[in-house]
Every structure is written in C-alpha cells, then in structure tokens.
Amino acid sequence: MARQHWLFKSEPSDFSIDDLERRPNQTAHWDGVRNYQARNLLRDDIKKGDGVLFYHSSTNPTGIVGVCEVARSGYPDHTARDKSSGHYDPRSTEDKPIWYMVDVKLVRKLPEIITLAALKETPGLDNMMVTRRGARLSIQPVTPDEWKIIDKMIKKIVK
DNA sequence: GCCAACGTTGGC
DNA sequence: GCCAACGTTGGC
C-alpha cells in the first residue's frame, strides 16, 4: 500500500514536539488515545513509514509544529493496563487489549508553527478535517493533496 | 473560562 | 435500540 498521511494532535502541556525531540532516537510511542475511531486507525490503518503532522492543540496558537514518520505500526497501548497512568482502563487486558498506539519518529521540527488560522486561509485546505468546526478526532487522515500543499508550506519556512 | 460539538453512558 | 444526560475536547 502507498504511503499514507496523518495528523496527530497533542496538547503540548501533555506531550510536545520538544518532548519528542528530547527522546532517545527522537522516537516515542503515541499512547493514551481513548477514542474508538482513532483507535481503529492506530490499530488497522497507520503503517510504518507513513507521514505524520504533529499538531499542538489547546495552546496559543494551535497548529502544526513538526513532521514525523511512523516507526512502528499499531500495537497494544500498555498504559491502559497501568493503574498509575492517567489513561488506565480496567476493561483492557493482556489477551484482549482495547487500546492501541504506534511509534513516531521525529523527521523535522518546524522553525515556526503553521497555525490553524494559516491552514484555514490556504486554498485546498479549507475542507481539511482539522480546519473543520467540531472535528475533535485526535488522529486524523490527511489526503495526498493536503499533504502536498502543507509540504510546500513547510518548504517555504525551512531554508 | 465559556461554550459548541461530539462521544459515551445508562435508563427505559 | 432510542435518546437524554453527562463528560470531554478544543477553539476562542
């Protein structure tokens, strides 16, 4: 299957692009997703090598702050079985894990954020999921066209 | 901090 | 299986 593209949201106070940059090998598991639609994407559709836009939510301003690559396809999210984790879910067992995660590796931290406002103003991105009102899904598909447009925007700010 | 939009829960 | 109530997300 051809390489696919995604947008992952994170609140920077929880896990930021800088946190990822500091990780060994600049790689981290994307744990804590507790939404079935996003879970299905993590478990079934997101594959090693796919491109990921790292998006900071609930901050000022919100927007895309980096590009990553999926380093490992979906596997059970062990934080669901960790009582000390804020993402603990007693329904999840070793035999029947409910929640999944992938590993992401930092490709590039952007020198400046591409804000949500800028995305909304960009022709071709006005229908992108993240620019649509009420789109709360924390793991979103990005179409090849959208990826191409954003890639161009990135090239403009990376010298 | 507000509140709209959305997902989940639970009574029936 | 419907749907109201509730909780959460996330932009502003």
Q: Classify A154 in phi/psi space as left (phi over 0), alpha (psi -120 to 50) or beta.
A: alpha
| Cβ A117 to strand C below 7 Å | yes
DSSP structure class, residue A38:
H
Q: Would you state the pLDDT for residue A86?
A: 81
What is the token pair recorded at A147?
A: 């990826």
| Cβ A117 to strand B below 7 Å | no
Residues A47, A18: Cα–Cα separation, whole Å: 24
Note the Cα A46 to chain centre separation in Å: 11
Do residues A55 and A37 lie in contact, with contact meaning Cβ atoms separated by under 8 Å?
A: no
Q: State pTM to two decimals.
A: 0.93
Please choose, from the candidates A46, A151, A59, the residue with its C-alpha nearest in 3D space to the C-alpha of residue A107. A151
CA A137 / C1′ B11 distance in Å = 28
Residues A123, A65: Cα–Cα separation, whole Å: 20
Q: Would you state the pLDDT for residue A89?
A: 83
Note the Cα A95 to chain centre separation in Å: 27
Q: What's chain A's length in residues?
A: 159
Please write the tens of the pLDDT for every residue from A85-122. 788 887 888 878 889 999 999 999 999 999 999 999 99
What percentage of chain A exceeds 90 in pLDDT? Answer: 80
Residues A112, A3: Cα–Cα separation, whole Å: 26
Alpha carbon of A16 to those of A58, A64, A109, A145, A148: distances in Å? 12, 11, 11, 26, 24
Residue A15 pLDDT level (bands cut at 50, 70, 90) = very high
Please write the tens of the pLDDT for every residue from A58-75. 999 999 999 999 999 999
| Cβ A107 to strand B below 7 Å | no
CA A36 / C1′ C1 distance in Å = 20
Three-state secondary-structure class, residue A21: helix
